Amino acid sequence: MVKKGRTQVVGPATNDLPTVEKGSTIAYGLAGNDKFTVTVVMRTSADGTATYNALPVYAWGTIYYVITGTSMPFVLITTVEENTVTLWLSGSKGMPVEFKLEGVIYKPYDKLEQKLKMLETFVISKCSGDEAVDNLHSILDGAKVIAEKPVGVTSGNCRTVVNGIKCPEPLKRPDMMAEMMLPVDEYRRRMILPNIPNRKIPAEMVVVSPWPNTKFFVSSESEIERYVTSSGQVVKNPYHAGNFYIRGDKGILTLYTQTSTCRINYEEPMGAAPNLCIVIPTSLFYYRYFWRTPDLQTMDFILIVARKKDRKYLIWDDKPLNLTLGWEEVYGAPMYAVGNKKVVKGHHVLVSTRMYTFACYVYGFGRNNSYMHSAGFQECGLGPDSDTKDDLIDNDCDGQVDEEMKDNIDNDGDGFIDEDLNSKFIPSKHYYLLLFLGMIVVYIVLFIIVKKSGIIKRKKKTDTPPVEEEEEAKNEDAQLSESEMLKEVDPVAGSEVDSGSASGRGSDHLGNTAQSYVSRRAPSHVSRKAESTVASFMYSVAPDLYGTSVE
């Protein structure tokens, strides 16, 4: 079934809602003089119930991923302004799945486009049992909604059963489930999935991400690593008892599928019918909640997710919250605790006197049906002013203010780009390490270049005389007397020579004497140069004794 319907705007002076005719679609637009919250309760019969909190119009977005489940899915899209909405169907390529709507055959990954007027709704559903859309569930779960202007999107199932759950008696019964989806702008990386202690049947955790190759971790007794390989892929994980910390490397949407009772006995909460509930990211926690329990035959409870140190500041209906209620640890996040409390029918208020943020979920189960929804959360969509530089506002609700740079890079790793800008450079936690490593690389490269260019030359090693040789030469010099040195120097002393041979003998003796003396006085590497120097000197002072004839 594909239908369009009108939106009825109801103001604060009007308490009676218009009657909805069978088979028609209507959306209610509510306006007030002050802030208020709206909880939607959907019932098809005594055994079919679903609840969710409506998002205010200012929190709507333009991109969504819908979760519907199997059997009889539906997607409802509402707009305030004239709009163009495109529904990109999901599924796997090559699947033999198709369905016909208004004479058009649709297959996986096809797109369905609709023009909507002001205050108009668009519904695609199998709740009417139309056989023409028998395969609708195969291509709606994980479908993508893209709109030119903000829209509100609600998705779910009219008649869903959990096939893996067995009920002793009576047989399990189907139930409705519905949730108003969060836009992609509200997807975050960290959340805590609380345990419902009244349940004894495992449920499911559903994760979807708009970014391919998204990795997320679930902390239980051991950390479990999972992947969303493609955009819009729906990853389902069995959920057992425990409070789990979930973190992703990119923004994800996490939903909790709760089961309800099988038996007509409140003391036997076995569980058969499902319900959808969005798990609120820790960055969207709020400090004040007020709500009214649904008018259903159910036992009602609340779940509180808060930091341990902040619990003493919680006020319940104008009285300090009873801290003796059951508090449980959170796997992977020891600073948090989860509390469970049974409540009576009526209005309730839960607030932190120090404005410390926490999460609050309202749930109940009765005869063959159940409900669960968050009591609220703070809206933190990326509006048109989210890229304003230095506005001192945490635009993406990640606990940091103006931490992004205008560089088309996801500086804070939340999956969004340039959404919380600062005009100044803010180094990341790895900036200084990378800077140090970069300086080392530059130094090595420069050293190699300078060395190859010849600017730096290695000095040649010179032979240095051993210490023993120097000492020995000094000792020999000390033993020579002055007379002996003169005798060696004077070639005439103590002998007569003729003038014809004096030149040759004197030259040879003087040269040998100088060579011997210099050899003893100087190291070997100096002696050769010294020999020629001494010879030149002797020639200048005694040319007649060094290579000339006597007349």
- Is 36 inside a domain boundary? yes
Whether 134 and 279 map to the same domain: the answer is: yes
Whether 29 and 145 map to the same domain: the answer is: yes
* pLDDT tens for each residue of 10-56: 544 445 555 656 556 666 778 878 878 888 888 766 557 888 999 99
Q: For all residues of the chain together, what is the average pLDDT?
A: 73
Whether 480 and 409 map to the same domain: the answer is: no
Contacts of 537 (CB under 8 A, 6+ apart): none
Which among 185, 241, 160 is positioned nearest to 63, based on CA atoms?
Answer: 185
Whether 296 and 411 map to the same domain: the answer is: no
Instruction: Say whether 50 sits in a helix, a strand or coil.
Output: strand
pLDDT at 504: 43
Whether 494 and 440 map to the same domain: the answer is: no
* pLDDT tens for each residue of 291-331: 999 888 888 999 999 999 999 999 999 999 976 568 999 99
pLDDT at 246: 95
- Is 260 inside a domain boundary? yes
Whether 473 and 449 map to the same domain: the answer is: no
pLDDT at 64: 97
- Is 548 inside a domain boundary? no
265 vs 231, residue with greater confidence: 231
- Is 546 inside a domain boundary? no
Contacts of 59 (CB under 8 A, 6+ apart): 183, 186, 379, 381
- Is 381 inside a domain boundary? no
pLDDT band at 266 (very low <50, low <70, confident <90, very high): very low
491 preceded by cis ω (within 30°)? Answer: no
Q: Listing from the earlier edge strand, what are the strands of the sheet with 347-352?
A: 288-292, 347-352, 314-316, 319-320
Whether 475 and 363 map to the same domain: the answer is: no
pLDDT band at 364 (very low <50, low <70, confident <90, very high): confident
Whether 359 and 232 map to the same domain: the answer is: yes
User: How many structural domains is the chain composed of?
Assistant: 4
pLDDT at 491: 44
Whether 352 and 392 map to the same domain: the answer is: no
- Is 175 inside a domain boundary? yes
Q: Pull the structure tokens for residue 301.
A: 């409870």
Residues spanned by the domain of 447: 434-458
Whether 80 and 121 map to the same domain: the answer is: yes
Whether 414 and 498 map to the same domain: the answer is: no
Whether 407 and 438 map to the same domain: the answer is: no
pLDDT band at 187 (very low <50, low <70, confident <90, very high): very high
